[in-house]
Amino acid sequence: MSSLEIRHLKKSFGALKVTDDVSLDVRSGELHAIIGPNGAGKTTFISQLSGQLASDSGDILLDGQSIMRLSMPKRVHLGLARSFQITQVLPHFTVLENVAVAVQARSGSSFRFFSPVAGDAALNARAMAALGEAGLADRADVQASALSHGEHRRLELAIALATEPRVLLLDEPLAGVGGEDADAFVAGLARLKSRFTMVLIEHDMDAVFRLADRVSVLVYGRIIATGTPEEVRSDPQVRAAYLGEEEEEVA
């Protein structure tokens, strides 16, 4: 298990401070949810953590070691994986190939030019295991572009799992998934909880309060509260800024 410490992280786009001095400890083994209204800067924050987006200043420590200056691929090799809010797959690859290429990134050299990769049983077996955990094993041989939206979300998760992460960054894994599908997905995430440290961005409040050990609330690039789901739920500032609106909408 690994921990993630974020120290005074900043990011501006022009005059707009998207991440405004965020400090946060993600403890080893916890599932830490980050919630906030639209435009709060949640995806930007995840992109900074994963290295897809360079930060202006601050520091990110994975198990006490700074990863600020590392590229996204290097952070992945240290065990920091992310899933995307907008599904990022290899559309002309099969589902299995999408996952097997992620396994390959962590096992052996990819500068092998001659042996056929399609029949590599070790890669395929580990890819199938990840697909099984994401509930997509029966769709292994389908071309990724032919999957339904819900299946894409599962593939997104399977790919992240296949990189053997120590810390998993999940950017709205439930985006656009509804009903029973969502329930099954949440149950699947709950099973993964004990194995990885997870940072979860999610709009579905039910899912967040069922899964999270701790919740941080991000509003206009600042963390306004961090605590257990109950603490956050009863925080007056949070209610004013965010949850209140939601509950009124529901009511």
Shortest Å, Cβ 61 to another protein: 20
**3-class SS at 77?**
helix
Which of residues 106 and 203 has its CB atom nearest to another protein in the complex?
106
Which of residues 44 and 163 has its CB atom nearest to another protein in the complex?
163
Which of residues 131 and 200 has its CB atom nearest to another protein in the complex?
131
A 10 A CB-CB count for 36 gives 23
- Read out DSSP for 185-222? HHHHHHHHTTTSEEEEE-S-HHHHHHH-SEEEEEETTE
Shortest Å, Cβ 101 to another protein: 5
Rounded (10°) angle between helices 95-106 and 121-134 = 110
Shortest Å, Cβ 11 to another protein: 18
Shortest Å, Cβ 97 to another protein: 7
A 10 A CB-CB count for 108 gives 12
Which of residues 93 and 209 has its CB atom nearest to another protein in the complex?
93
* Site for another protein, rule CB under 8 A: 50, 52, 71-73, 76-77, 81-82, 84, 88-94, 96-97, 100-102, 104-106, 108-121, 124-125, 127-129, 131-138, 140-141, 143, 159, 162-163, 184, 187-188, 191
Which of residues 130 and 223 has its CB atom nearest to another protein in the complex?
130
All residues at 6 or more sequence positions from 30 whose CB lies less than 8 Å from its CB, including other chains: 197, 198, 213, 214
Q: Which two tokens stand for residue 191?
A: 């099973």
Distance CA 101, CA 135 (A): 18
Distance CA 132, CA 147 (A): 16
Shortest Å, Cβ 242 to another protein: 29
Q: In which residue are the tokens 């990189």 written?
A: 163
Shortest Å, Cβ 169 to another protein: 10
All residues at 6 or more sequence positions from 99 whose CB lies less than 8 Å from its CB, including other chains: 127, 130, 131, 155, 158, 159, 162
Shortest Å, Cβ 90 to another protein: 4
Q: Which two tokens stand for residue 220?
A: 């206009």
Which of residues 25 and 164 has its CB atom nearest to another protein in the complex?
164
Which of residues 3 and 143 has its CB atom nearest to another protein in the complex?
143
